[in-house]
Amino acid sequence: MNKTALITGASSGLGKDFANLYAEKGYNLVLTARREDNLKLIAADLIEKHKVDILIISADLGKQDAPSKIFSFCNENNVKIDILINNAGYGLVGEFDKLSWEKHNAFINVLSTSAIALTRLLLPSMLAEKYGRIINISSVAAFAPYTNSGGMYIATKLMILKFSEMIHNEYKSRNIYSCAVCPGFTHTEFHKDMGEFKSSIPSFMWMDSRKVVEQSYAASMSGKDIIINGWFYKVLVFFMKITPKWLVKLGSN
Ligand SMILES: NC(=O)c1ccc[n+]([C@@H]2O[C@H](COP(=O)([O-])OP(=O)(O)OC[C@H]3O[C@@H](n4cnc5c(N)ncnc54)[C@H](OP(=O)(O)O)[C@@H]3O)[C@@H](O)[C@H]2O)c1
């Protein structure tokens, strides 16, 4: 029987490309995001092209109860999840004290709590089946040597990186692999409202979303605990790790 992948944030960008790749490879899918219309179009296209089974569920992962709703939806439809791709995310702009707690809470839920909750809910059946592949989308931002603006994004990405590593180390001997994916700038809808900022980033720093997804798939299947996408970012992360905080502080003043 075909295995099934649950993909969060499947309505655009990396999530949509994950849906494309896994459908091409014959996996059945459960796709979730808030934009139901996008999910419907993506599912219809992939069902026609690849003859796989696809269910969609619209959910706002900013809400605490969303992971249990998605879990119940899978159970009600007798779908067992073999592959979990925790991908949903967005950027949060503004000073910490200027943003309401509600905004922070929703952000933390989408980028980290929901991923941890879905993993906790789905892990028992993966353990029972002796098979599970989990991909957690972190970011090269998780390696930032010094944090000020954008700090909540960095904090959640570091959380998911460490969480992913913990799951991998705890369960890899039982054939559950968890891979933290750390892309740099990637062409998706992520920067759609950041026109000027986007054009200020040199083109060699941008990666193709499909390429990131292909690398992530290969890393996950071969049991890698972490992947930094692309040679440029591998080198950058190396320097981020060895650069002392005082030097970065100096540069940011
Ligand atoms: N693009 C980059 O440069 C880059 C670099 C490093 C890491 N990442 C990470 O990659 C992941 C995917 O982002 P992307 O680049 O593909 O951006 P994207 O095209 O904007 O996709 C983000 C996805 O997350 C979903 N999402 C956002 N808020 C949500 C919510 N409250 N509830 C449920 N789903 C929600 C969106 O769906 P709906 O709007 O339909 O809900 C969408 O499907 C994110 O975790 C991001 O942090 C991106």
Ligand 1 nearest atom to the CA of residue 192, by list position: 20
Closest atom of ligand 1 relative to the 140 alpha carbon: 6
C-alpha distances (whole Å) from 234 to each of 136, 153, 176, 222, 239 are 18, 20, 25, 19, 9
Question: What residues contact residue 231 under an 8 Å CB cut-off, 6+ apart?
Answer: none
Alpha-carbon distances of 31 from 6, 60, 62, 120, 162, rounded to whole Å: 6, 13, 16, 18, 25
**The tokens of 232 are what?**
């440029």
Q: Which of 3-17, 23-37, 106-120, 227-241 has the lowest mean pLDDT?
A: 227-241
Contact between 121 and 71 under an 8 Å Cβ cutoff? The reply is yes
Residue 236 has pLDDT above 60, yes or no: yes
| Domains of the chain, start order | 4-252 (3.40.50.720)
Which residue's C-alpha comes closest to atom 34 of ligand 1? 33
When the pLDDT of each residue in the chain is averaged and rounded to a whole number, the result is 94
Q: Give me the pLDDT at residue 252, please.
A: 60
Q: Output the CA 135–ligand 1 centroid distance in Å.
A: 14
Q: Locate 114 and state its tokens.
A: 């929901």
Could you report the per-residue pLDDT of 57-68, keeping only the tens digit for each?
A: 999 999 999 999
- Ligand 1 centre to CA of 43 (Å) is 18
The confidence band for 209, taking pLDDT boundaries of 50, 70 and 90, is: very high
Distance 84 CA to ligand 1 centre (A): 15
Whether the predicted pLDDT of 116 surpasses 90: yes
**168: closest CA among 114, 119, 111?**
119
To test the ligand 1 pocket, which listed residue (36, 58, 90) has its Cβ within 8 A of the most ligand atoms? Answer: 90
To the nearest 5 percent, what fractions of the chain are helix, strand and coil?
55, 15, 30
Among the ranges given (69-83, 146-160, 176-190, 222-236), the one the predictor scored with the smallest mean pLDDT: 146-160
What pLDDT shows up at residue 125? 98
Cα(211)–Cα(165) distance, rounded to whole angstroms?
A: 23
For CA atoms 10, 13, 221, 114, the dihedral sign is negative
Nearest ligand 1 atom, CA 106: 31
Residues 253, 251: Cα–Cα separation, whole Å: 6
- Position 200 confidence tier, pLDDT thresholds 50, 70, 90: confident
Tell me the residue type at 170. E
Report the pLDDT value the prediction gives residue 188, as an integer from 0 to 100: 95
Q: What's the CA-to-centroid distance between 190 and ligand 1, angstroms?
A: 6
CA torsion 92-89-230-46 (nearest 10°) is: -150
pLDDT for 121: 98
- Please give all residues whose beta carbon lies within 6 A of any atom in ligand 1, as ranges: 9-15, 33-35, 38, 60-62, 87-90, 110, 137, 139, 183, 185-186, 188-190
| pLDDT value for 212 | 98
**CA gap 111, 250 in Å, rounded:** 30
Residue 251 pLDDT > 70, yes or no? no
Confidence category of residue 226, pLDDT binned at 50, 70, 90:
very high
Q: If you average pLDDT over residues 239-247, what whole number do you get? A: 82
Residue with the two structure tokens 């809910």: 121
pTM listed for this prediction = 0.96
pLDDT per position as a tens digit, 139-163: 999 998 877 777 899 999 999 999 9
Looking from the CA of residue 207, the nearest atom of ligand 1 is 3
Evaluate if residue 93 carries a pLDDT over 90. Answer: no
pLDDT band at 198; cut points 50, 70, 90: confident
Pocket test for ligand 1, best of 108, 138, 188 (most atoms within 8 A of CB): 188
